[in-house]
Amino acid sequence: MAVKKATIDTLLEEDRIFHPPEEFTQQANIKSREIYAEARANPKIFWAMQAERLDWFRKWDKVLEWNPPFAKWFVNGKLNACYNCIDRHLKTWRKNKAAIIFEGEPGDSRVLTYWDLYREVTRFANILKKLGVQKGDRVAIYMPMIPEAVVAMLACARLGAPHSVVFGGFSSESLRDRILDAQAKVLITADGGWRRGKIVPLKHNADAALAETPCVEKVLVVKRTGQEVSMLDGRDYWYHEMAEETPTGCPCEEVDAEDILFILYTSGTTGKPKGVVHTTGGYLVGTSTTHYMVFDIKDDDVYWCTADIGWITGHSYVVYGPLANGTTVLLYEGAPDWPNPGRFWAIVEKYHVNVFYTAPTAIRAFMKWGDEWPGRYDLSSLRLLGTVGEPINPEAWVWYHKNIGGERCPIVDTWWQTETGMIMITPLPGVTPLKPGSATVPFPGIEVDVVDKDGNSVMLGKGGFLAIKEPWPAMLRTIYGDDQRYVDTYWNKIPGKMLYFAGDGARRDYHNYYWILGRVDDVINVAGHRLSTMEVESALVDHPWVAEAAAIGKSHAIKGQAISVFVTLKAHAFEQLKSGARQRSEFQDELKAHVVKKIGAIARPDDVFFTAELPKTRSGKIMRRLLRDIAEGRALGDTTTLADPAVIAELKRKYESRES
């Protein structure tokens, strides 16, 4: 595509508008804004039309059955997600098209065509059957970013067995809790994965979890890193050994549109992680439609979404959306800065990546590493960029646009959640003028609002709570095993109104563009990943030294937010700290390591501060909001509900004197 500067209207700093380049619009999958009006006029017809992009074994009787807040989409429709992602492409010229281009961190590379993927997935499904997996059984997946991770997911889908993917960076204990909650019967893992030249010991971590998960009957282990791992006779099986004696070719289970496709755990504000339930028909319609329209996907594109399959972005936009659309998907195993900060751009150059989707935290890291890294590579194959996971600051947006997109690629800033399953607020790159930092407008057929605490729309320009007004096909159906928690968390926050409460603050500007202001609940967004203050606090309190703890998210230049914790030590530990019998840094390191052990490296606190008391309300609730004010050096907000105002004044003084 010719390099042409996009039009820039400079008004105020944050009012810069980037219009879609004309040549982009001309070739775009969606060229006209009419789609918004069409979808709004009759959303059910709109979604029914989109559902035609899939292959159904039996057509649905009804598009939507809505018993608020419980939805059924494509009622009585029958299909199979794996069939839609693989088999149907085999009847077309795509049979020998690359489905997955894999680059391992050490530099190894593999290409699987759709036909290859069919053979791998059907054999994998046959192995799962041998291990006793049947329709409806839950299968846990704890894998590195290698093709077998995708193969494992699709094999489960083929059998109608819901998968629960647990991010490979999570600890044994996190894995254990998720396995137990879903009562998984089989675990699929690997000996290890590569990360910054080191082995992530997945099987070793899994063994610790498996000691406490009696529900798991069999474990299938993929060989990736090759180091010695322990295998328990009768429970653990090597994939490559079983593959030798297992044929390819395995029929697809016909599943109902509302059968569970997967469970994915995400952090809530309180208690244990929530098993977000996604079903098959609506989810596949929502993800394939958005993937086609938002990423403007073409058959000759190489598409790269950098998310790990352990997150929803990996499910929706590495696996199900793209493969349903017959896309060539790039998969990279490792870190963006290994062996040097040019790795991503070397991959773009090597495989001629056309569409690239990543997180603001990665973009900010690239900014820090310097313009020279992308500058060394030929990035001219790129035609469209995307971001997801947290608000992108306009500065990072403009850097991305210039240094990666060569000022010719539109950027789709996509707002959505594990719970929404699909992209909800986003530009359509051929038609939506872009404003750096704004996710722009709701996707066609999606009704969004910004409301006050009573559920009334706030005026344009004012901030409020982001809410979704109408059901959408890829919405979560419930929290696994806990309908009441589903109702309370998402639908009962605004009394008397049936609104989906996203937990994000937002503002709508005078062009009706949405600006996401971040979480309004006690969820910390570290590098685009949600962690609850509650989980971090429970991990700390689990340590014998700790009496009480409060975790907060503190602004961080690269990660968006970093975790800071305020800890009250038990008397014996406090004595040791005061007397100097043990160094402060020793306490800090020990507690940081403990959180990593309990949750995973992603939850490592950046900062541990010791305090004799935490600020609390009269009813005993920790006021994290005030701790955030202190950590960020702001004036304290409303302190009228504090039980003892002296606590906070003392804390602020101490915190500041430590920092200065």
Rank residues 303 and 416 by Cβ distance to ligand WTA and give the closer one: 416
CA–CA distance, 177 with 166 (Å, rounded to integer) = 10
264 binds ligand WTA (CB under 6 A): no
Q: Within a 10 A sphere around the Cβ of 446, how many other Cβ atoms?
A: 24
Of 126, 306, 313, 361, the one binding ligand WTA by CB under 6 A: 313
Q: Which residues have a Cβ under 8 Å from the Cβ of 512 and sit 6 or more positions away?
A: 441, 460
Stretch touching ligand WTA by CB under 6 A, among 233-241, 279-287, 363-371, 383-391: 383-391
237 binds ligand WTA (CB under 6 A): no
CB 258 within 8 A of CB 225: no
Rank residues 354 and 420 by Cβ distance to ligand WTA and give the closer one: 420
439 binds ligand WTA (CB under 6 A): yes
Residue 604: φ, ψ to 5°: -60, 120
CA–CA distance, 311 with 164 (Å, rounded to integer) = 11
Q: Angle at which helices 624-631 and 645-659 pack, to 10 degrees?
A: 30
Shortest gap between Cβ of 420 and ligand WTA (angstroms)?
8
Stretch touching ligand WTA by CB under 6 A, among 62-70, 277-285, 309-317, 624-632: 309-317
Of 408, 519, 592, 628, the one binding ligand WTA by CB under 6 A: 519
Site string for ligand WTA, 244-263 (x = CB under 6 A): --------------------
Shortest gap between Cβ of 360 and ligand WTA (angstroms)?
8
224 binds ligand WTA (CB under 6 A): no
What is the bridge-based pairing of β-strands 78-79 and 255-256?
antiparallel
Rank residues 311 and 513 by Cβ distance to ligand WTA and give the closer one: 311
Shortest gap between Cβ of 307 and ligand WTA (angstroms)?
8
Encoded tokens for 154: 């699709």
Rank residues 257 and 562 by Cβ distance to ligand WTA and give the closer one: 562
Q: How far is CA 357 from CA 67, 317, 329, 330, 389, in A?
A: 35, 9, 11, 11, 11
- The enclosing H or E element of 283 equals helix 281-294
389 binds ligand WTA (CB under 6 A): yes
Shortest gap between Cβ of 515 and ligand WTA (angstroms)?
9
Rank residues 50 and 313 by Cβ distance to ligand WTA and give the closer one: 313
Q: How big is the CA angle at 518 (ends 513 and 521), to the nearest 5 degrees?
A: 130
CA–CA distance, 204 with 172 (Å, rounded to integer) = 9
Shortest gap between Cβ of 445 and ligand WTA (angstroms)?
18
Shortest gap between Cβ of 387 and ligand WTA (angstroms)?
6
417 binds ligand WTA (CB under 6 A): yes
Shortest gap between Cβ of 640 and ligand WTA (angstroms)?
28
CA–CA distance, 455 with 127 (Å, rounded to integer) = 51
Single out the residue of 51, 90, 91, 55 nearest to residue 74, CA to CA.
51
Encoded tokens for 588: 């800090």
Shortest gap between Cβ of 548 and ligand WTA (angstroms)?
27
Q: Which residues of this protein are in contact with ligand WTA, per CB under 6 A?
A: 266, 311-313, 388-391, 413-418, 439, 502-504, 516, 518-519, 525, 530
